[in-house]
Structure 1
């Protein structure tokens, strides 16, 4: 699972939302009665941000354990289309998706009505990683090395921020675009380090016997301890069907709480739903990530205003956004259950 930011898609999201207009009711279907005379389940789609992995285990657990069904929902977990989950949610094609805080921030400042309704993980588990033989022990060591990314402005800005803290000079780093190339292939071929989520790529490196040196970006600035990933909906769904959002989040919260408390069993549920995943990797990743879902928060999914403000201020200060974010409209905790 590679770190991925969708800044170039902000305008595409806005256009998709405008084209959808007010007539699109989203991917929810409701019937008053099923064939047996009982109330039918409402069909609901949640779109992932990437291919299925342990960031998503709570969603699969909620489905496989019947938590969604108990809320009257028949939930499909779908892969993102060409426009990504953000565009699909913003245009009301689907009511729910998985995104990241920086995408919500950028989108809202473009007039796109995304709203974050839960933090999947409380603290940022991403960072810059290199094979140990590259001798990269701190951000200053990026000097003279080659970084492989995907060309997002946020990459260079974050790298510069943590290098500045460590006394490094980003002008001495060679930046290349590796697109969708696999991390392990790229570091053997033409780069020294890249931005990864440790829960997936880092754990895979351990299993391969290819240890990494990792600099977690949150360790160098509180402003960079932002939420990634988050669960999003749109303003229209919140306004028109708040009961749906509450029901979805009650079940989703139970799913992530189960995954937090039962890493082995929840890993098996993810594998049952997506059997093509590597079993050893899923179990090892889940064991590492499960304690980090809720971490030090009072409940799973809780989002703090200061986290949204810190990161949006950082983006504004570095010219990544042109105005300050109205954080009160960007996220809400209102649809989380009081307790898990």
Structure 2
């Protein structure tokens, strides 16, 4: 079962390939531009969750600026494994990866021992959209009886059902499995609506098309933050090598802080450090601008006055979303049996390794 970030990532890669010639999950440029002699550094593997994008940008910035090297680390950024970044971290194939608390909770229910050590995204960025040319859909209740471009996630079904019902509909819809991209599935007429991210595919649609008509979860009854994107590691790594976790987390935190303060420069760094992705710099700059303007990584005034630390894991809003999923019977164990008790954010994340 593919979860929120993983499933949306497939749509992202296919869609970006259409407009931006993105090489889906291609190997990234892992050369540390500030250091050619890494023999005395601790080798660390960071795994992408999909193709390089602005959610990963803090890691690329930290690498480019030499902050990993300064911490004694030689960080190799690698393409996502077929089984997913969470499974790779759980199995020790990767030391760290990009994920979110939603995925961490779902893997925890299936027996994984992973924990989030930095949360960069502080509010939802998911958008649920139809093509603007589809005049039959004016609000989520119009998804009733229509076809959802899906990756088979119980989670997404629960979200769509809640949005439709909050808008006055029944919450009944058909589904079709996405092929190469959600955009293409919708444009082919095989589906009427699908899920995207405002900070990436929403930017793509605005700049390159197709034009979309989109709705956000908080406006239609879905509680909490489903998109608590951040950095995960294995609990064994935390126990056996806490200093490594601290060094990687704080260097990465510094990378995201820089990107939030210098979005255009960070965008250029991502383009340069991940050449195989063939990202267009204007597109990445626009994505970063949406992140900054929307304050997706936190209230900039609170960051400036010290009342909020960028990267802090939020235990409240993601828990609201977890409880919603549990009520919707969206959680299952490794045998597919429904689990009615929600994961607990306090067990899935820690702020102990952040620079305060």
Distance 1:304 1:90, change over 3 A: same
Identify the range of structure 1 (119-128 vs 291-300) with the bigger mean alpha-carbon deviation: 291-300
Partner of 2:33: none
Partner of 1:295: 298
Task: Map Cα deviations across residues 267-314 of structure 1 (whole Å, 9 max, x no partner).
Answer: 000010122222332122122123534223712111222123212211
Aligned with 1:305: secondary structure? coil
Partner of 1:326: 344
Residues 117 and 353, structure 2, Cα contact 8 Å, conserved in 1: yes
Identify the range of structure 1 (205-214 vs 253-262) with the bigger mean alpha-carbon deviation: 205-214
Partner of 1:278: 280
2:325 pairs with one of 311, 315, 329: 315
1:153-232 map, 5 Å? 153-171=154-172, 173-179=173-179, 181-190=180-189, 191-221=191-221, 223-232=223-232
Count of residues paired in the alignment: 306
Distance 1:56 1:290, change over 3 A: farther
Whole-Å separation in 2 of the counterparts to 1:87 and 1:78: 14
Distance 1:151 1:209, change over 3 A: closer
Whole-Å separation in 2 of the counterparts to 1:237 and 1:260: 28
Residues 127 and 197, structure 1, Cα contact 8 Å, conserved in 2: yes
Distance 1:167 1:112, change over 3 A: same
Task: Map Cα deviations across residues 69-104 of structure 1 (whole Å, 9 max, x no partner).
Answer: 111111111111111111110012221011122211
Task: Map Cα deviations across residues 202-245 of structure 1 (whole Å, 9 max, x no partner).
Answer: 11111114322111113334624233422101110000111111
Whole-Å separation in 1 of the counterparts to 2:84 and 2:39: 33
Q: Which runs of 5+ in 1 are unaligned?
A: 7-34
Q: Which runs of 4+ in 1 moved over 3 A?
A: 2-6, 290-293
Residues 54 and 286, structure 1, Cα contact 8 Å, conserved in 2: yes
What displacement does 1:39 show?
8.3
Distance 1:90 1:303, change over 3 A: same
1:1-340 map, 5 Å? 4-5=5-6, 40-135=40-135, 136-171=137-172, 173-179=173-179, 181-190=180-189, 191-221=191-221, 223-275=223-275, 276-291=278-293, 292-296=295-299, 298-321=308-331, 322=339, 323-338=341-356
What displacement does 1:59 show?
0.8
Residues 4 and 156, structure 2, Cα contact 8 Å, conserved in 1: no
Q: Which runs of 5+ in 2 are unaligned?
A: 8-35, 303-307, 332-338
Residues 41 and 74, structure 1, Cα contact 8 Å, conserved in 2: yes
Aligned with 2:59: secondary structure? helix
Identify the range of structure 1 (63-72 vs 103-112) with the bigger mean alpha-carbon deviation: 103-112
Residues 131 and 193, structure 1, Cα contact 8 Å, conserved in 2: yes
Task: Map Cα deviations across residues 103-145 of structure 1 (whole Å, 9 max, x no partner).
Answer: 1111112221010111121111012012212133321121243
Residues 228 and 318, structure 2, Cα contact 8 Å, conserved in 1: no
Distance 1:133 1:42, change over 3 A: same
What displacement does 1:185 show?
1.7
Distance 1:195 1:222, change over 3 A: closer
How well do the aligned residues superpose, as a CA RMSD in angstroms? 2.2
What displacement does 1:3 show?
5.3
Whole-Å separation in 2 of the counterparts to 1:169 and 1:5: 28
Q: TM-score, normalised by structure 1?
A: 0.84
Residues 120 and 230, structure 1, Cα contact 8 Å, conserved in 2: yes
Residues 5 and 102, structure 1, Cα contact 8 Å, conserved in 2: no
Residues 126 and 227, structure 2, Cα contact 8 Å, conserved in 1: no
Identify the range of structure 1 (62-71 vs 137-146) with the bigger mean alpha-carbon deviation: 137-146
Whole-Å separation in 2 of the counterparts to 1:74 and 1:163: 48
